[in-house]
Amino acid sequence: MSGKKDTLSILKHNFGRPSVMTWGWPLMWLSLMTFVFFGFRCLLKNAPITFGVTTIVGCSVFLILEAMCILVLPVAALSTGFDDRILGRYTGVGALLLSVISGIPLMMLKVSLYNIASWITLRICERSVFPVFFHNEPETVYGKVLTLLSDSVIPAFGIALFFYGLLWSRFISTDRFRACVIITAAFVLFKMDFTSAAAFTATGIWCFYLRTRVHNIWAPFLCLVSADIAELFLPQSLSKIDIFSVQTYADIGTTYFYSSIPAFFMGMVLLLFFIRVLDSFSISLRHEIHDDEYDDTIPAFDKSINLSLILTIAVFITIWVLIIQGVHL
């Protein structure tokens, strides 16, 4: 009887709602809900529904539900008492404007890395690994507006709120490097897109930087939306490979490399400019807001590792193995 009580105590301690919210518990919620939606995507592959999951409308419905159920609702349920730290502090329109503009060089990095990764994937694996949620490129204004709303605005808000609000606030000030690694890794795993992994890694790192320098979640939110707008409405500036229309790496024209490689370096140069400006901006505000930016009850990094983290890793490994095997198609 004592052994049963000990087991229940261990499970409650590691998987029950902690008295002090650490980063492990939100990640566990994220992984489990992501697995549920991945399962729905697989089940609805051949379901007799009005809108297929690969149509713009069907994919949009799924993306909106995903953002609300996996990202927004957990924050509402887990953020009691943390609202001021999750949203951050308003530090002026100038910093937010810089965040919007930084979305353009970020788009250059994303598309360049995606094009290069597409070629490498086809060259090594000899087949594309399709993303879990995808649809054909919109051709009408209605389709573009719906795509912008469902693929960018609503998911970007959920991402900013969960990853750079709730999850970011669950680290102490001396754990910024660890926080960047964990938040970026969780962001990439959540996106469930093998070919875009490098692009999302760059996106996650830059959004984390914006969160620490601008001191609120609206900076990464606006940057994500800006990057998607630039990619959606300015396709002629940097062409993106359509992996649904190529079969081998030989089908990818050399023009993609001629545009992607210079765009990558140009995007890096522009982001370095933003880094210099935002560093100076943050230094001028550091003494004013640093003391009350973090929750003093958050434990040290090593004390927050428990079975919930092991479960999170196991769930995401399972999802990504299934994605690579093409189970969701």
pLDDT value of position 56: 82
Given a contact cutoff of 8 angstroms between Cβ atoms, the answer to whether 131 and 195 are in contact is: yes
HEC-encoded secondary structure of 24-75: HHHHHHHHHHHHHHHHHHHHCCCCCCCCCCCCHHHHHHHHHHHHHHHHHHHH
For residue range 254-307, what is the model confidence (pLDDT) as tens digits?
A: 777 778 888 889 999 999 999 999 988 877 776 556 556 677 778 777 666 678
Give the whole-angstrom CA distance, residue 84 versus residue 207: 19
Kindly state whether residue 165 falls inside one of the protein's structural domains: yes
Given a contact cutoff of 8 angstroms between Cβ atoms, the answer to whether 23 and 171 are in contact is: yes
Structure tokens at 180: 């960047």
pLDDT value of position 1: 52
Given a contact cutoff of 8 angstroms between Cβ atoms, the answer to whether 60 and 146 are in contact is: yes
Kindly state whether residue 55 falls inside one of the protein's structural domains: yes
pTM listed for this prediction: 0.90
Number of domains in the chain: 1
pLDDT value of position 286: 66
The count of other CB atoms within 10 Å of the CB of residue 34 is 24
Kindly state whether residue 190 falls inside one of the protein's structural domains: yes
Judged by DSSP in three states, 326 sits in coil
Given a contact cutoff of 8 angstroms between Cβ atoms, the answer to whether 232 and 156 are in contact is: no
Kindly state whether residue 109 falls inside one of the protein's structural domains: yes
Q: What's the average model confidence in pLDDT over 153-162?
A: 95
The pLDDT confidence band at residue 164, using thresholds 50, 70 and 90, is very high
Structure tokens at 117: 């990764």
The pLDDT confidence band at residue 160, using thresholds 50, 70 and 90, is very high
Q: What's the domain range around 207?
A: 23-325
Structure tokens at 159: 């991402």
Task: Name the average pLDDT for the chain.
Answer: 84
Structure tokens at 66: 């995903």
Kindly state whether residue 247 falls inside one of the protein's structural domains: yes
Q: Which residues pair with 88 in a beta bridge?
A: 216
Kindly state whether residue 191 falls inside one of the protein's structural domains: yes
Kindly state whether residue 5 falls inside one of the protein's structural domains: no
pLDDT value of position 205: 97
Kindly state whether residue 16 falls inside one of the protein's structural domains: no
| Residue 293 vs residue 188, higher pLDDT | 188
270 half-sphere exposure, CB direction, 13 A CA radius: 17
Given a contact cutoff of 8 angstroms between Cβ atoms, the answer to whether 97 and 212 are in contact is: no
pLDDT value of position 47: 66
pLDDT value of position 163: 96
Whether the predicted pLDDT of 46 surpasses 90: no
